[in-house]
């Protein structure tokens, strides 16, 4: 038997933890900040666990509170999405795709018009969360970077995650060989610190150390490279369209495997669903297209 303990208190806590204040949570749930505070206190009493540290001008979650909120927020997001699907007009067919923000911006969104031409009755809804985000129960599928081992899921390979430096044509003119790279000019991605060392090792220049500006995501680093801030380590397929359009060039032909691949990830029962089956056929076909375009990618020097 399912036991839901004080659902109003759980909603109040989740909103307060996510927004960072009782006032903001009250505004979201259309009650007063004092009401939110009371409901959270009652929840803590019933759980026998402190969820917040009350400080003068700050609301800080305890370790237990952080763990609770990290599990609750995806549940409420999934509930909201499910409600939207149930209440949508019967003519609307929606498929939710979970992807990281850079994959959405650099690859999926630019190609959605192609899918829409083939399947005009299917509305693709994109939810982003990054590689570390848990697979949402309301997702039709996800695209993730990894080793393909996600217990309970089918993982079909889409792309190889190859690495190669990219920059503007102007900067590339001064890069005739890898030895011309300068550490302070090499843009870094915080969550992938091994990218530059891996490529430089393969190029035979381990004495060069990337010390350029650091960004949180590949998309930010690639935009910085487009704007001429330095040389970024590009990863397929993020860079395919920028190379094809000439916004970026690859000054060196050497590419290095990242030892991971991009996968289409889904639960096995989804193959029986018409909308998912249509999207799966399309994305597998679309994923094969960049290989042909790479032959025309510009290489400077």
In angstroms, rounded to a whole number, what is the distance separating the alpha carbons of residues 275 and 272? Answer: 9
Are 25 and 145 contained in the same domain?
Answer: no
Determine the pLDDT at residue 289: 79
Are both 181 and 242 inside the same structural domain?
yes
Whether 195 and 71 share a structural domain: no
- Average pLDDT per block of 10 residues along the chain, 301 residues long: 74 89 89 92 91 82 88 76 62 79 88 91 80 69 88 89 94 92 92 92 92 89 93 92 92 91 88 89 87 42 40
Which segments within the chain are labelled E, that is strand?
52-55, 58-61, 93-99, 122-128, 141-146, 154-166, 186-189, 214-215, 231-235, 256-266
109 and 172 part of one domain: no
pLDDT digits (tens, 9 = 90+) for 58-113: 788 998 888 888 888 877 776 766 676 566 555 557 888 888 888 888 899 989 99
In the DSSP assignment, the letter for residue 250 is B
Q: What is the DSSP string of 150-188?
A: -TTSEEEEEEEEEEEEEB-HHHHTT-SSGGG--GGGEEE
* pTM of the entire predicted model: 0.62
* Domain containing residue 224: CATH number: 3.40.190.10
Number of domains the chain contains: 3
For residue 256, give both structure tokens: 């290095």
For residue 146, being part of any structural domain is answered with yes
Pair (31, 44) in one structural domain: yes
Answer whether residue 220 is part of any domain: yes
Give 23's contacts (C-beta < 8 A, 6+ positions apart).
33
Range of the domain at 235: 161-260
């Amino acid at each position: 038997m399912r036991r839901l303990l004080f659902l109003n208190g759980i909603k109040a806590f989740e909103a307060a933890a996510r927004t960072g204040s009782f006032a903001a949570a009250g505004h979201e749930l259309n009650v007063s900040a004092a009401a939110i505070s009371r409901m959270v206190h009652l929840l803590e009493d019933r759980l026998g666990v402190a969820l917040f540290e009350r400080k003068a001008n700050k609301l800080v979650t305890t370790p237990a509170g952080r763990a609770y909120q990290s599990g609750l927020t995806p549940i409420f997001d999934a509930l909201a999405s499910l409600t939207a699907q149930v209440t949508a007009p019967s003519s609307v067919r929606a498929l939710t795709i979970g992807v990281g923000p850079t994959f959405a911006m650099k690859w999926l969104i630019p190609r959605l018009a192609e899918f829409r031409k083939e399947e005009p009755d299917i509305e693709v809804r994109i939810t982003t969360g990054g590689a570390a985000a848990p697979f949402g129960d309301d997702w039709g599928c996800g695209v993730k970077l990894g080793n393909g081992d996600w217990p309970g899921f089918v993982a079909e390979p889409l792309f190889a995650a190859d690495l190669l430096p990219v920059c503007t044509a102007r900067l590339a003119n001064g890069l005739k060989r890898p030895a011309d790279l300068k550490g302070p000019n090499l843009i870094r991605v915080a969550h992938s610190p091994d990218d530059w060392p891996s490529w430089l090792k393969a190029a035979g220049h381990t004495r060069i150390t990337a010390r350029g500006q650091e960004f949180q995501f590949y998309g930010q680093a690639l935009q910085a490279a487009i704007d001429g801030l330095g040389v970024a380590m590009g990863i397929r397929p993020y860079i395919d369209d920028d190379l094809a359009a000439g916004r970026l060039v690859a000054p060196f032909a050497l590419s290095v495997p990242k030892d991971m691949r991009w996968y289409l990830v889904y639960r096995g029962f989804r193959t029986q669903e018409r909308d998912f089956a249509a999207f799966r056929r399309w994305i597998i076909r679309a994923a094969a297209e960049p290989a042909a375009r790479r032959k025309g990618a510009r290489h400077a020097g």
